[in-house]
Chains A and B, each alone.
Chain A
């Protein structure tokens, strides 16, 4: 499938600045790093959570623990997505009970991924609070879910695709809006 580039939203420096701001807001809102646990939603939420944790370490002198959630087993569209998707490992390093969890994802769109992530989290215990940090909020929610920390809000149409490209998985580091050709 070919994509037509419509516009570039962020470059590498822009992503870095947005993540720094998210890190500041997270520690400001939670008055430090006590009981904080950052969980990245696979795939691109994982490196974003790591980077935010690094930035928090610089700010506060303490790096909150990080982990990763694979929401495949909790998806609501398993019977319609075609051949079974790849299942990856969920890795939560500490007991979530009484933790303040910040879920980290690249793009907030329909909210269905976050719904699945919340369901999965509840199976691991009872966190004190769960917050949501995203790099891009592109609108078009299908569930009543909002982010607590947003890198950038984008007005998009349904046929546009927001691509977050990170050096960990892609050759480049940028956020672009593309359209199917």
Chain B
């Protein structure tokens, strides 16, 4: 069988076969959300903890809905209301959570590697819901699912990822995932926010990564445009003069989008800053799949919970 992992920590270590298993499984789960009774008994009696140290609306809600549609019990903890604020170390928190015997823990943390550390300490499956600027595997998987749904196949597609590449775990997870599936990824953004060696982060694959100097270069003839949010909360220095200037040089407008392929689709992991990285006309256009991404996110997370929590425990 193509999937027998304990944890989902990143897209970097996934095999092509594992990725396809997740995406195929998600396709079947998408149907469940269209029923009038949107619930199947598959994970009845399983407990899933959503542990979010960073703010999140979409990802946390998506995981919670995914768990509930599979009949699992979902418990949400956020850092502000937890014992973390009382000085408990992460390791102690993890041990305490483990003592309550959850089957899976979804964790989001501002420090890279926290989910990996946790995975070694607890028996529950750990799902990385975003660790700093490192990885956000479920977002990349739902992006790949959305692209595949529209374009049929990822191999050979030109995918432009534009914006704050440096601070973006979405860009990193997508770079690994999309190239494994044979897509050609082009990244662009302000020089200060694009690591020049970004094309070296992926291993041998069918696809490729190109670092572009100008947004126009990345957009030209692309099949998919993925816009990233400017993450002011991760910026300690002045990487660009002002949001206004960023928007002028790197914002996606209808005029710039005209450079892409006529069938080009536009994606954004959210939350969208209208008028900064993307104009309102583009977000609301028929090419924008922003809300499809959110719908598909539930199906992809159901598939992941099913594949991890439903696994054989030896």
Binding site for B on A (CB under 8 A): 70, 72-74, 78-79, 82-91, 119-120, 123-125
B312 beta carbon closer than 8 Å to chain A: yes
Chain B's closest residue to A90 (CB) is B31
A128 and B36 alpha carbons, distance in the complex (Å): 18
Are B27 and A89 interface neighbours, CB within 8 A? yes
Given A78-B310, A89-B28, the answer on whether A124 and B3 have CB atoms closer than 8 Å is no
Stretch of B37-45, B159-167, B198-206 with 4 or more beta carbons under 8 angstroms from chain A: B37-45
Which 4 A-B pairs have CB atoms at the shortest separation, nearest pair first?
A: A83-B1, A73-B40, A87-B28, A84-B310
Which residues of chain B (1-51) have a CB below 8 Å from chain A? 1, 3-4, 24-25, 27-29, 31-32, 35-37, 39-42
Are A78 and B42 interface neighbours, CB within 8 A? yes
Are A123 and B312 interface neighbours, CB within 8 A? no
| Chain A proximity of B25: nearest CB distance (Å) | 5
A-B contact pairs, 28 of them (CB 8 A): A72-B42, A73-B32, A73-B70, A74-B41, A74-B42, A82-B1, A83-B1, A83-B4, A83-B311, A83-B312, A84-B3, A84-B306, A84-B307, A84-B311, A86-B24, A87-B25, A87-B29, A87-B303, A88-B28, A90-B28, A90-B31, A91-B31, A123-B35, A123-B37, A123-B40, A124-B35, A124-B37, A125-B36
Which A residues touch B312, using CB under 8 A?
82-83
A91 and B34 alpha carbons, distance in the complex (Å): 11
Which residues of chain B (191-240) have a CB below 8 Å from chain A? none
Extra contacts, 11 of them, besides A72-B42, A84-B3 (Cβ < 8 A), are: A73-B32, A73-B40, A74-B40, A78-B42, A79-B313, A82-B312, A83-B311, A84-B310, A86-B25, A90-B28, A123-B39
Which A residues touch B306, using CB under 8 A?
84, 87
Binding site for A on B (CB under 8 A): 1, 3-4, 24-25, 27-29, 31-32, 35-37, 39-42, 70, 303, 306-307, 310-313
Which B residues touch A83, using CB under 8 A?
1, 3-4, 311-312
Which B residues touch A73, using CB under 8 A?
32, 40-42, 70
Q: Tell me the total A-B contact number using a CB cutoff of 8 A.
A: 53
Which B residues touch A70, using CB under 8 A?
28
Are B3 and A89 interface neighbours, CB within 8 A? no
- A interface: dominant SS: loop
Which B residues touch A84, using CB under 8 A?
1, 3, 25, 306-307, 310-311
Which A residues touch B24, using CB under 8 A?
86
Which A residues touch B1, using CB under 8 A?
82-85
Given A73-B32, A84-B3, A87-B28, the answer on whether A79 and B310 have CB atoms closer than 8 Å is yes
Chain A's closest residue to B314 (CB) is A82
Which B residues touch A79, using CB under 8 A?
310, 313
Which A residues touch B303, using CB under 8 A?
87
| Chain A proximity of B42: nearest CB distance (Å) | 4
Chain B's closest residue to A95 (CB) is B36
A99 and B307 alpha carbons, distance in the complex (Å): 34
A81 and B4 alpha carbons, distance in the complex (Å): 12
A70 and B24 alpha carbons, distance in the complex (Å): 14
Which A residues touch B70, using CB under 8 A?
73
| Chain B proximity of A75: nearest CB distance (Å) | 8
| Chain B proximity of A74: nearest CB distance (Å) | 6
Residue among B24, B29, B41 with the highest chain A CB neighbour number at 10 A: B41
A177 and B294 alpha carbons, distance in the complex (Å): 49
Which A residues touch B40, using CB under 8 A?
73-74, 120, 123
A88 and B31 alpha carbons, distance in the complex (Å): 10
Which A residues touch B32, using CB under 8 A?
73
A120 and B311 alpha carbons, distance in the complex (Å): 22
A90 and B311 alpha carbons, distance in the complex (Å): 22
A72 and B3 alpha carbons, distance in the complex (Å): 16
Which B residues touch A87, using CB under 8 A?
25, 28-29, 303, 306
Residue among B3, B28, B42, B310 with the highest chain A CB neighbour number at 10 A: B310
Which B residues touch A91, using CB under 8 A?
31
Chain B's closest residue to A91 (CB) is B31
Chain B's closest residue to A81 (CB) is B312
Which A residues touch B3, using CB under 8 A?
83-84
| Chain B proximity of A82: nearest CB distance (Å) | 5
A85 and B36 alpha carbons, distance in the complex (Å): 25
